[in-house]
Amino acid sequence: MARSPKDGGAGDEVAVRNLEQLVASREIVVTCGSGGVGKTTSAAAIGAMAAAHLGGKVLVLTVDPAKRLASALGLEAFGNVETRVPPELFAAAGVAPRGELWAAMLDTKESWDGLVRTHAPDIATRDAILANPLYQNITGKFVQSHDYIAMERLYEIHTSGRFDLIVVDTPPTRNAIDFLEAPERMADFFSSRLLRWLIAPYRSRVLTAASKPFYSMADRILGSQFLQDIAEFFILFQTMYDGFVERARAVERTLEDRRTTFVVVSTLESAPVREAEFFIRALRERNFSLGAVVLNKVLPAYLLDDDGAEAARRLSTDPASIAALLPDDLGDPATLARVLREIGDSYLNYRVVAAREAEERAELAGAPDILCAAPFFDSDIHDLGGLLDLGATIWR
Amino acid sequence: MSPSADVPLLDRRLVFVTGKGGVGKTSVAAALGLLAAEHGRRTLVCEVDAKGNLADFFEAAPNRFKPQELAPGLFGMAMNTEESLKEYLSLQLRVPLIARVGPLARSFDFVASAAPGVKEILTVGKLCFEVRERHYDFVVVDAPATGHVVAQLAAPQAIRELVKVGLVRDQTGWMVEMLEDPAVTGTVLVSAPEEMPVTETIELAHRIRAETNVDLSAVIVNKVLPELFGRGEEEIFRALQEPAHAAALSAAVGHAVGPVLEGAQLAVTLRRSRAEHLTRLRAELPQGLPLLYLPYLFSRTHGVRTTRAVAEALSAELGY
């Protein structure tokens, strides 16, 4: 009896065999990995491939404060507002896309302002929050606020239904899972007793015997004006408490939903691989959907060729005898020998690195079924054509 | 501000090492610390990133807040703002019951997660404290990647603007003085000859100059690939790639040289595309900023031997 795909595998998910099938079955793809592994580029490449081959409206949302996606997409700049990648760029790359590619970069401050406008109970509160010096500091400089606002913005765009697929590039946080826990931490924070405690005296002006030492110490350390600024800020913010916490929970649910999948990006250098393994574990522990691992800048397999290694060794150890066997028109024997040695040495050097990479790949623990490798590219990716070329190496 | 070259890097007391992920920032910080320690300076390397792996470069157990000796005269610690606050409270406020500091510090850490600059000041404050108290001759900071370091370096000044009175304000004065003295404090940007690292290094260099008064001392370009061929040699390599010559070479060697020639071509291409980024880096960095180069290491592992190799290369570049 033929089995339908539904009862064929684990759970009720249809088995997907490659990145294309994975992306086709999801609404949100979140790329994560350590810095410098090509995460942003991979996200853009996945988005470009989806727009080209799957169709629909695809948004690449980069939350990396380092503003990289613009150059990778050949756009001069784009901001907090979603911008369509000009269709001419696809034409220039010789591709007739089935869908549309859009891009947006997260402007943390602007996103926070938008959130305040949505949740503030009245105009006076809204303006007071926006003008509060602490608020301005937090939204402008406070690093962790990127994590939360990234997930919040993702949620906002997703629920708006404006896009069929959103590919999100996460902040290059060293504490890998920060962004996953950002909604939860934000909700915890706003519902914390400590916060109420801290704010209380500025509401009632009556200090209880129990809390007095706490405030006098806080006063000594931070100064009462600063404490008052903090209190004012949080009192104002508490007016948005319900909306905020509810929102944070909803963001969390979206990340856990099976319409969302995570793609871990890495190179085969040892530190990024350890980081990738950490991500893989963290995602599995939290029961998030781990869809694929993408390996970037992988050295070509011919560097591991045994015949090649033997040839390189001979070139490296006895270039003069080999040079003597070659036609004269290749130049003077001494220079030729130097070139031959250089070629042999270089191969052996790169072979060491390629062997290390192969080991890392074999040892990459807990990787999902979809494991794609993109090679080193001759030149940097600076246009849509380059992104599509990269995408093609990992797509199927 | 006086030019950076006036005070040699290793003659300073506090050096922040920063750079984009993947460029080898930690490896350079480790090597810089090792170099200083080998010159007899009691050195502390402090990693500020969560989940740092600095100790791996010395094949030691992970660093904690309490320093451990990684090599003779070289100590390693990992920043922890809660521990830093506890230490501060017990030293500065002479809180009678240390037992009470525990939960209080945790509460503050919680506030610090939301209040601006508090974590930054606890980090920078601890580092400045180690320098001021002369616990070490030389403190190297494996600072957070790119943009975040600016927030850290600017934190004491920012806090002074926000907090008008109180102990914290008093405490930031001497920190600002220390951070802004180029004879004491310097920053080093680690880069790699690739497109994005170069772009970010240029951006960060200008930001440090514009947004902080901390001396930008040098840019270290890591992972520089070797040039394979000199003048006239590249033509020979081109000729060898022609099918007839390649076949002759395979016959002379006794093994197929196809992969070897492809490998050499890859090396040439990688080197060339990187050279363009180096040119751009040199052109767009602030004038007069020293640039140091460290070679790409074709090594199997990243243990203490590799760290020593990086330290040697750094020593040659610094003339130290």
Query: What confidence score (pLDDT) does residue A67 get?
Result: 52
pLDDT of residue B34: 97
On the question of pLDDT at A182 being above 70, the answer is no
Instruction: Indicate yes or no: CB of A346 within 8 angstroms of CB of B169.
Output: no
Instruction: Print the domain residue range for B86.
Output: 4-226+276-318
A35 → closest Cβ in B110, B145, B229? B145
Cα B137 to Cα A383, B26, B35, B44, B134, distances in angstroms: 49, 20, 13, 8, 6
Shortest CB distance from A330 goes to which of B236, B258, B262? Answer: B236
Query: Which one of B240, B260, B268 would you mutate to disrupt binding with A, by most A Cβ within 10 Å of its Cβ?
Result: B260
Question: In chain B, which residue's Cα lies nearest the Cα of A339?
Answer: B233
User: What's residue A386's pLDDT?
Assistant: 86
- Does residue B231 form part of some domain? no
Q: What is the pLDDT of residues A266-297, one digit of tens each?
A: 999 888 898 899 889 888 888 889 999 999 99
Q: Could you tell me if residue B258 is inside a domain?
A: no
The rounded mean pLDDT for chain B is 85
Rounded to a whole number of angstroms, the distance from the CA of A50 to the nearest CA of chain B is 24
In chain A, what is the greatest distance between 2 CA atoms, to the nearest angstrom? 98
Mean pLDDT of B8-18: 93
Average pLDDT over residues B235-246: 94
Q: Does some domain include residue B232?
A: no
Tokens of B240: 């060898």
The distance of A336 to chain B (nearest Cα, Å) reads 7
In chain B, positions 26-45, which contact chain A (CB-CB < 8 Å)? none
Give domain limits for chain A.
18-299+376-395, 302-362
Cβ B264–A382 below 8 Å, yes or no? no
- Of the two residues A208 and B233, the one the predictor is more confident about is B233
Is B10 within a domain?
yes
Would an 8 Å CB–CB cutoff place A211 in contact with chain B? no
**In CATH, what class is A18-299+376-395?**
alpha beta
8 Å CB contact of B250 and A308:
no
Q: Is A75 or A257 the better-scoring residue by pLDDT?
A: A257
Q: Which residue has the higher pLDDT, B49 or A140?
A: B49
Nearest CA in chain A to B200: A66
> Which chain B residue has the Cα nearest residue A216?
B166
CATH number of the domain enclosing B173: 3.40.50.300
Report yes or no: A228 at the B interface, CB cutoff 8 Å.
Answer: no
Q: Tally the C-alpha atoms within 13 A of residue B313's C-alpha that lie toward its C-beta.
A: 21
In a domain, residue B17? The reply is yes
Contact B195 A380 (CB under 8 A): yes
Residue A187 touches chain B, beta carbons under 8 Å:
no
Say which range, A61-75, A123-137, A356-370, B292-306, has the weakest mean pLDDT.
Answer: A61-75
Q: How far apart are CA A215 and CA A159, in angstroms?
A: 43
Instruction: Kindly provide the b/e burial profile for residues A373-390, where b requires at least 16 CB atoms within 10 angstroms of the residue's own CB.
Output: bbeebeebbeebbbbbbb
Report the pLDDT averaged over residues A245-270. Answer: 87
Query: What share of chain B in percent tops pLDDT 70?
Result: 87
Kindly determine whether residue B144 and residue A174, on different chains, have CB atoms separated by under 8 Å: yes
Compute CA distances B127 → A51, A100, B69, B90, B111, whole Å. Answer: 49, 50, 17, 17, 21
Residue A312 near chain B (CB below 8 Å):
yes
CB contact under 8 A, B298 and A353: yes
**Residue type for B114, please?**
A
Answer yes or no: is pLDDT of A254 > 70.
yes
pLDDT higher at A22 or A203:
A22
Chain A contact for B289 (CB, 8 A cutoff)? no
The count of domains in chain B is 1
Q: What is the mean pLDDT of chain A?
A: 80
Q: pLDDT (tens digit, 9 = 90+) per residue, A44-102?
A: 999 999 999 999 999 998 865 445 557 667 666 667 788 898 888 899 889 999 999 99
Give domain status of residue B260, yes or no.
Answer: no
Q: How many angstroms separate the CA of residue A88 from the nearest CA in chain B?
A: 25
Give the best-scoring range by mean pLDDT among A206-210, B115-119, B207-211: B207-211
User: What is the tens place of the pLDDT at every residue in B57-92?
Assistant: 999 999 999 999 999 999 999 998 878 877 877 776
Residue B270: list chain A partners with CB under 8 A. Answer: 376
Tokens representing residue B184 in the block: 């004491």
Instruction: Give tens-digit pLDDT for B193-233.
Output: 988 889 889 989 999 998 889 999 999 999 999 889 988 89
Among A344-348, B98-102, B165-169, the minimum mean pLDDT is found in B98-102
Residue A14's pLDDT is 57
- In this structure, the dihedral spanned by the alpha carbons of residues A329, A335, A337 and A339, taken in order and rounded to 10 degrees, is -100
Task: Give the other-Cβ count within 10 Å of A362's Cβ.
Answer: 7
Question: What is the value of pTM for the model shown?
Answer: 0.82
Residue A319 sits at φ, ψ, to 5 deg, of -65, -30
- Residue A198 sits at the chain B interface (C-beta within 8 Å): yes
Interchain pair A342, B233: CB under 8 A: yes
Phi then psi for residue A93, to 5 deg, are -90, 5
Q: Is residue B193 situated within a structural domain?
A: yes
